[in-house]
Structure 1
Amino acid sequence: MRGGYATRRRPRSNMPKASVTNVLLAITAAIYGAQWLVPGITMQGAKITSKIMRGQWYRLVTPIFLHANLAHLLMNSMSLYNIGPFVEQWFGKRRMLSIYVLSGVSGVLASCYWNPRASSVGASGAIFGMVGAAACFFASNRNELGAGADRGLQSILRTVVINTIMGLQISQIDNAGHAGGFVAGFVLTYLFGPNMRWVGSPYSGPRLVDVPRVSLAGMQGDLSRFRRRLSGRQ
């Protein structure tokens, strides 16, 4: 029992299919095929700090969808296939896609800062962003999810430890990109949820609802009111 209610998992029948995950996998695979067909496309989109500083801002995003070789692609695709459906089902399509892209960008920025001379490609930062998102989700909702949250946190801890050890032993792994993505995913989830809470009454029964700490709709309303105030002063 948690807070007077029996802890229950979200019914799988009500969960959306992992369509965004599948689309991301398909896009990533198609782009890797294009890398074979178009010579030089990899370096045209890779993270190269000097070029980003000169205004090639698209390089903050394009490295997420490029991969150095087939093994690199398969490893990241398997990771996305494993964690993507979970994040998509609990977070929803828009939040999952936002976390994926923004965490990837955060990973590129972290790599630019700590590894400015190295060029890099790969979806690892974006995937670690979803790992960070899952970590925050389990940590923030332990009372609501019960033992499942503890098992999830233990699994994530093992994943992070294994990848950290590998990163320290293999020089080609961009640890800064991984860390930047993880932190971004954790922070975004802390702010925008899911932040699950039990609500209900003796008549309707308990149910889990998402109560984000920061509401995008509320932010839009505040921005609209601020604009009206500015217009009134002019």
Structure 2
Amino acid sequence: MRLMPDSIQHEDLIAAESATPASGFEAPSSAHHERSDFNPLAAPATYTLIAINLAVFGIMFPRSPAPEVWRSHHPGMAFLASFSPEDLVRYGAVSGALVLGGQWYRLVTAAFVHINPAHILTNLWCLWNLGLLGEPLLGPMGLIAVYILTGVAGYLLSIAWDILFHPALANSLTAGASGAIFGIAGILIVLLSNRRLPIPWKELRGHRNAVLLFAVVNLALGGVSIYFSAVRINNSAHLGGVLSGLLLGLPLVPRMTAGRLRYLRRQKIVFAGAAFVLSLFGYWISRVG
């Protein structure tokens, strides 16, 4: 989400050389049916990411106008009551000007900062659903790596887009986990297209199509935000997230059924390479900006 300046486990993931699930591997359909049973140990990375987002919001909440709006007999509007620009900057939101001024850490911290209660509730609902679907395929550390890498990619594309096409937005603030969530969606679209997974193709295709629909519909809805002057959906961050997720998934597919160690080794190489490419992209943006 963008705030304008004016308003400012799975231990074994894939079967080793076989067509049956390895110990600890859980098919997405199974994860879906068991979601009613709260078990953080079954998806530690998903619940850790959710907990960090909630903790940051909890630290920020004493400065939120939401309680005052609620007490003024407008409970519905309380969910849309946003933090001040000063508070968002204080807690790590992204501003292109600040990032290019040397505060690169904001590319990571902003993925854990949310603008209002409605913002965090919708994002964490999506993160929960996609995380429980993706963690069995990526592993806990893999999911966290994808969250951070695609979140950074989303914000970098957002900054580049503003510099090239919307210079007036250079000082706008943006924050939220949605770029990273779209990144998880992007990599899932690729991984769930692998027919060699020990999961019936009908189930895989159903999950893949659901994730694809989520990404397409929400990208389309993001375009509607151009009609609002104060708060806008940062669609360029969403696009950067989903595109980087798609790209991360492509080199992982050939190793998904080659055994756990080979798959994890490929993950490390791909994620390290992605971090390097993002560093180069950030350097290019700093030169252009």
Same-fold status (TM-score > 0.5): yes
Where does residue 138 of structure 1 map in the other structure?
192
Where does residue 182 of structure 2 map in the other structure?
128
**1:13 positional shift:** 5.5
Where does residue 232 of structure 1 map in the other structure?
none
Corresponding residue pairs, total: 205
Corresponding position: 1:112 with 2:159: yes
- Mapped to 2, the partners of 1:12 and 1:79 lie a distance apart of 27
Using the aligned pairs only, state the percent identity.
30
Corresponding position: 1:48 with 2:103: no
**1:143 positional shift:** 3.9
3-state SS of paired residue (1:52): helix
Q: Deviations over 1:50-80 (max 9, x none)?
A: 1111101111111101111000000001001
Match of 2:250 among 165, 186, 190: 190
- Residues 60 and 105 in structure 1, CA contact (< 8 A), matched pair in contact too: yes
Match of 1:72 among 89, 109, 119: 119
Superposed CA RMSD in Å reads: 2.9
Runs of 5+ in structure 1 lacking a partner?
Answer: 1-5, 199-207, 221-234
Corresponding position: 1:26 with 2:86: no
Q: Deviations over 1:77-97 (max 9, x none)?
A: 100111112211221011110
3-state SS of paired residue (1:55): coil
Query: TM-score, normalized by length of structure 1?
Result: 0.77
- Mapped to 2, the partners of 1:160 and 1:50 lie a distance apart of 29
Query: Which residue identity lines up with residue 161 of structure 1 in the other structure?
Result: V
Of 36-45 and 128-137, the range deviating more from structure 2: 36-45
Query: TM-score, normalized by length of structure 2?
Result: 0.63
With over 3 angstroms needed to count, the CA separation of the structure-2 counterparts of 1:219 and 1:113, relative to structure 1, is closer
**1:98 positional shift:** 0.3
With over 3 angstroms needed to count, the CA separation of the structure-2 counterparts of 1:120 and 1:85, relative to structure 1, is same
With over 3 angstroms needed to count, the CA separation of the structure-2 counterparts of 1:70 and 1:196, relative to structure 1, is same
With over 3 angstroms needed to count, the CA separation of the structure-2 counterparts of 1:7 and 1:150, relative to structure 1, is farther
**1:36 positional shift:** 2.4
Where does residue 6 of structure 2 map in the other structure?
none
With over 3 angstroms needed to count, the CA separation of the structure-2 counterparts of 1:185 and 1:34, relative to structure 1, is same
Runs of 5+ in structure 2 lacking a partner?
Answer: 1-17, 27-40, 64-83, 164-168, 227-231, 273-289
Q: Deviations over 1:95-124 (max 9, x none)?
A: 110000111000110110113423211000
Where does residue 77 of structure 2 map in the other structure?
none
- Mapped to 2, the partners of 1:180 and 1:167 lie a distance apart of 13
Where does residue 214 of structure 2 map in the other structure?
159
**1:35 positional shift:** 1.7
Where does residue 42 of structure 2 map in the other structure?
17
The higher radius of gyration belongs to: 1
- Residues 219 and 239 in structure 2, CA contact (< 8 A), matched pair in contact too: no
Higher relative contact order (CA 8 A, sep 6+): 2
**1:192 positional shift:** 3.8
Within a 5 Å distance, the mapping from 1:92-111 to structure 2 comes to 92-111=139-158
Query: Which residue identity lines up with residue 127 of structure 1 in the other structure?
Result: I
- Residues 132 and 184 in structure 1, CA contact (< 8 A), matched pair in contact too: yes
Q: Deviations over 1:195-221 (max 9, x none)?
A: 4337xxxxxxxxx7675494647999x
